[in-house]
Amino acid sequence: MLSVLQDKTYRRLFLAQIVALMGTGLATVALGLLAYELAGGNAALLLGTIFAIKMVAYVTVAPIAAALAERLPRRKVLIALDLVRGAVALALPFVTETWQVYVLILILQSASAGFTPIFQATIPDILPEEDRYTRALSLSRLAYDLESLLSPAMAALLLLIVSHDALFVGTSVGFLASALLVLSVALPAPKPAQPRPFYDRTTRGVRIYLATPRLRGLLGFSMAVSAAGAMVLVNTVVLVKDSLGMTDTAVAVTMAAFGGGSMVAALALPRLLDRWADRPVMTAGACAMVAGLLGLLGGQAAFGLSLLLILGCWGLIGLGYSAVLTPSGRLLRRSAQPEDRPAIFAAQFALSHACWLITYPLAGLLMTVGGAALAVAVLAALATGGILVALRQWPKDDPLEVEHEHPDLPRDHPHLRGGRRHRHPFTIDDLHPSWPTSG
């Protein structure tokens, strides 16, 4: 897995990802504590609203940003967006009203909605070989998991000597360091795309995505991820502080259990994906998340809520979370032409976060109105529905090369050198506007 770090450009981008994630992790803990300070027992509802605003920004901004960035230098765009995120993080400690939090989060997450798909689409251009790219995906997932594990631990130590407001300063430092690391490398320019109207460029990624069966399956798995993840991210602070009466440090430790489970999966996945196809691995991961939710529901009913129960269930959910998310980059890479990758990554970013837009406020509302049992039961049912949709939309037999024909093309068209009916790695593009229904 570590061999991909021999590439200087990828190594520095990976470091940029790590420092930005560490800063974001500190902000996640700080936001939970800020919400509890502003709203007390209604913190879950406030956090659900904050995360909903984040998702609205992701869903609406990502495709537009991808279309605009298609004609702008990647490095300059990434640096500018990092600087915006750092400036907003510095402003968060000074808020005194909930509406101020909402405005700042909207700006921060709009910048992230532009940054993340462009960053993700750059990696396949740096590491074009599938095996190296797979290891880069696992390494990237491991970075997310280390952030989930180490950021709460770091936050727990810092909270012993500073207030939660100081954590936002760490967030700003992370974004600034990320900008400097991006500045230190030359990024490959994307393959020039055919000139298209702005609306066409904005919607192209979503149209390719929804026309590809394996990506419709990925969207179902994304719903399962968002349902289980929303329970963890929105309701942990209420479960630990309000229901169990424990400390800020216990909140951070509980979040670290989720990151620990995810890290275990990320370490195992490169070898696992060498032996097994993406579909069964992602299915097993999604089922593990549902098992974690049902484990919390059953354990609370049988023995009562305890920190040990939450830690175990959050670890299992984290394991499944990583098993679903890590292979998703492979699916996106093989489902689009190189010039369409930024659009397809932006589509995944927007559509997957549309799922979070549903589950974040739902998790907060259910927790506030009906308590943990109702929230877990509904979110587990939603995750199960996502798995069923994924398995129905994504055929078990999903070859990379698909036999098809072009009755609409003239016989002398360059694409027909292999005959009118031929086979090649199939993606939705201008010559292949729809997926073959047979053969």
Contacts of 230 (CB under 8 A, 6+ apart): 51, 356, 359, 360, 362, 363, 379
**DSSP class per residue in 325-369:** HTTHHHHHHHTS-GGGHHHHHHHHHHHHHHHHHHHHHHHHHHHHH
Task: Count CA atoms closer than 13 A to 293's CA, side-chain side.
Answer: 31
Contacts of 136 (CB under 8 A, 6+ apart): 4, 10, 14, 123, 127
Q: pLDDT value at position 342?
A: 76
Q: pLDDT value at position 2?
A: 65
Q: For residue 412, is it within any domain? A: no
Q: For residue 153, is it within any domain? A: yes
What are the tens digits of pLDDT across the range 78-112? 899 899 989 988 888 887 777 787 788 888 888 88
Determine how many CB atoms are found less than 10 A away from the CB of residue 422. Answer: 15
d(CA 54, CA 104): 10
Determine how many CB atoms are found less than 10 A away from the CB of residue 276. Answer: 14
Which residues, given as ranges, of the chain have pLDDT below 50?
439
CB 321 within 8 A of CB 281: no
Domain that includes residue 359, residue range: 2-393
CB 334 within 8 A of CB 425: yes
Q: For residue 413, is it within any domain? A: no
CB 419 within 8 A of CB 433: no
d(CA 219, CA 337): 20
Q: pLDDT value at position 439?
A: 43
Helices and strands per DSSP (H, E), number in the chain: 13, 2
Q: For residue 437, is it within any domain? A: no
Q: For residue 406, is it within any domain? A: no
CB 32 within 8 A of CB 182: no
Q: What is the CATH number of the domain that holds 383?
A: 1.20.1250.20
Q: For residue 313, is it within any domain? A: yes
Q: For residue 243, is it within any domain? A: yes
Residue with tokens 């406030």: 46
- Residue 332 one-letter amino acid: L
Phi, psi of 388 (to 5 degrees): -65, -40
Q: Which of 283, 355, 294 is nearest to 324 (CA)?
A: 283
How many domains is the chain built from?
Answer: 1
Is the model's pTM score more than 0.85?
no
d(CA 257, CA 316): 9
3-state secondary structure of 53: helix
Q: Which of 382, 336, 377 is nearest to 355 (CA)?
A: 382
Instruction: Give the CA distances from residue 222 to residues 323, 349, 354, in Å, rounded to whole numbers and listed in that order.
Output: 12, 10, 9
CB 107 within 8 A of CB 88: yes
d(CA 347, CA 66): 9
Per DSSP, 421 falls in state E
- Residue 250 one-letter amino acid: A
**DSSP class per residue in 219-249:** HHHHHHHHHHHHHHHHHHHIIIIIIS---HH
b/e burial code for range 32-44 (CB count within 10 A of at least 16 → b): bbbbbebbeebbb
Provide Rg for the chain, Cα atoms. Answer: 22
Determine how many CB atoms are found less than 10 A away from the CB of residue 214. Answer: 18
d(CA 43, CA 54): 16
Q: For residue 36, is it within any domain? A: yes
Phi, psi of 196 (to 5 degrees): -140, 155
